[in-house]
Amino acid sequence: MIDTIVKKSKVEGLGVFALRNFKKGEVVIKWDISQQLTPKSIKKIPEKDKRYVAHFNGKFILMQPPARFVNHSCDANTYANNFCDIAKRDIKKGEEITGDYSEEAISGEIMVCKCGSKNCRSIMKAY
């Protein structure tokens, strides 16, 4: 059963949207982690794909659809756990799925945030 769809986002570019309601604690997206990278191999991937590299649980992963299109929000409705996006709260059908990139970005990476949430930090920094 397909639970999400990728389409145009108001946050940025493409985004992932819920095709059904999700309950808090439920797996929203299970990541495809088949594209694991080394720090050396990251340098060899095309520049346009580098934005889709996540660092999580000590692994560098080239995120695959749909997970690669989950946009950042300072008020994210999911969190990363065990290579999945888990609902932080109930998510309604049609709502955009968002994550906090500071949880999975490469340490030291800094990004200007345009999420538009009330709690927007303006700058996102990975730790």
Q: What pLDDT is stored for residue 101 in this prediction?
A: 81
Residues 6+ apart with CB under 8 A from 40: none
Number of H helices, E strands in the chain: 1, 12
What's the predicted TM-score (pTM) here?
Answer: 0.86
CB 100 within 8 A of CB 72: yes
pLDDT tens, residue by residue, 27-68:
999 999 999 999 899 989 998 888 888 888 888 999 999 999
Cβ 55 vs Cβ 126: under 8 Å = yes
DSSP E strands, 9-93 = 14-18, 27-30, 36-37, 53-56, 59-62, 71-72, 78-81, 84-87
For 63-119, how does the pLDDT look when each residue is reduced to its tens digit (9 = 90+)? 999 999 999 998 999 999 999 999 999 999 999 999 988 776 555 667 788 788 888
pLDDT at 54: 85
Structural domains in the chain? 4-125 (2.170.270.10)
Spatial CB neighbours of 100, under 8 Å, sequence gap ≥ 6: 72, 73, 74, 76, 79, 124
Contact 15, 71 (CB under 8 A): yes
Q: Alpha-carbon distance 94 to 10, whole Å?
A: 13
